[in-house]
Amino acid sequence: MFVASLLTNPETPVLEPALIESLRNAWGGGDAVWLMPDVAAEFGLASVPDNLDSVWADLQELKVDVLVHPSTGRKKRLLLADMDSTMIQQECIDELADYAGVGAQVAGITARAMNGEIEFEGALRERVGLLKGLDQAVLESVLAERITYMPGGKTLLATMKASGGYAALVSGGFTAFTGPVAEHLGFDEHRSNKFVITDGVLTGDVIPPIFGKEAKVEALDDLTAKLGLTDDEVLAVGDGANDLGMLTRAGMGVALHAKPSVQAQADFRVNHGDLTALLFLQGYSAEEFVS
């Protein structure tokens, strides 16, 4: 058995009962269950519809996401989350580069790396090299002045952890940011890269090894072994090509507001919901959210 989940942005609720009923009837689905009025609803299905892709494309025009997934084992026990453009709304290295006067150059490299056009490790080294000479104090300035959180993050973490879940922030970014972000949102741990800093200045180097695509998969293996879980009990979320390894391994791997090449390879795509969409996909209603 399967579940069809329909979601939209809680800030602009546009999910109409008529749409749910029309799709439910067309697909021979069960009774509709509303998880949040005008925002999230679901119904059961006997099989995955043949026209799911075309319906998904049509609903994108209405700013509605539709996902079909197994009805069993929905509530996950491990959350693996990317940071940049996932738990926060920025790419930290791009913000640092703007301070350094190389913003456009670094942003271009970031976009190509996240879309899988160039190899992540080399792209990271190239971008960090362009930050050589940047004062360490800029790290705190960017964190304080430029970083904003993706809506729903704290609720996602608090709700999953209240049900016994464990949460790890796994980022190709840097500990200068993952540490404070993880603490603010309530992650149990964080894993990422480290700048080489000498006399309060960035040297343009990264302490090896690079934490990239393979390291995120290794984190999945490490944490499932440590917690006694299977891959099916993992929820992974990210937006870039370096997230694809963990997204395809996890029981539920969600490409959130992801790059085109990532969406093309991900089983689950959320383009309009915020991070609470990950709770709706697990079957939580808004009334069950923990603030």
User: What global pTM score does this model have?
Assistant: 0.96
CB 5, CB 280: distance < 8 Å: yes
Kindly list the structural domains of the chain, giving each domain's residue range(s) and its CATH number in brackets, ordered by start: 1-72 (3.30.70), 75-291 (3.40.50.1000)
CB atoms within 10 A of CB 254: 26
Compute the distance between CA of residue 270 and CA of residue 262 in angstroms, rounded to an integer: 12
In the chain, helix, strand, coil percent, each to 5?
Answer: 40, 25, 35
Upper half-sphere CA count for residue 148 (Cβ side, 13 Å): 4
Tell me, what's the pLDDT at 93? 96
Q: Beta strand 166-174 with 189-193: parallel, antiparallel or unpaired?
A: parallel
Tell me, what's the pLDDT at 248? 96
pLDDT bin (cut points 50, 70, 90) of residue 50 is very high
* Residue pLDDT, tens place only, 217-248: 999 999 999 999 999 999 999 999 999 999 99
Compute the distance between CA of residue 167 and CA of residue 153 in angstroms, rounded to an integer: 11
CB 132, CB 202: distance < 8 Å: yes
* Residue pLDDT, tens place only, 60-112: 999 999 999 999 999 999 999 999 999 999 999 999 999 889 999 999 999 99
Element (H, E) at 6: strand 2-7
Compute the distance between CA of residue 28 and CA of residue 47 in angstroms, rounded to an integer: 10
The β-bridge partners of 67 are: 5
Helix (H, G, I), strand (E, B) or coil at 66: strand
CB 78, CB 12: distance < 8 Å: no
Show the tokens assigned to 121.
């490790």
* Residue pLDDT, tens place only, 110-120: 999 998 999 99
Q: Which amino acids are annotated catalytic?
A: 82, 84
Task: Find all residues with CB under 8 Å of 81, minimum gap 6, and list them.
Answer: 87, 167, 168, 169, 170, 187, 236, 237, 238
Mean pLDDT, range 23-34, rounded to an integer: 97
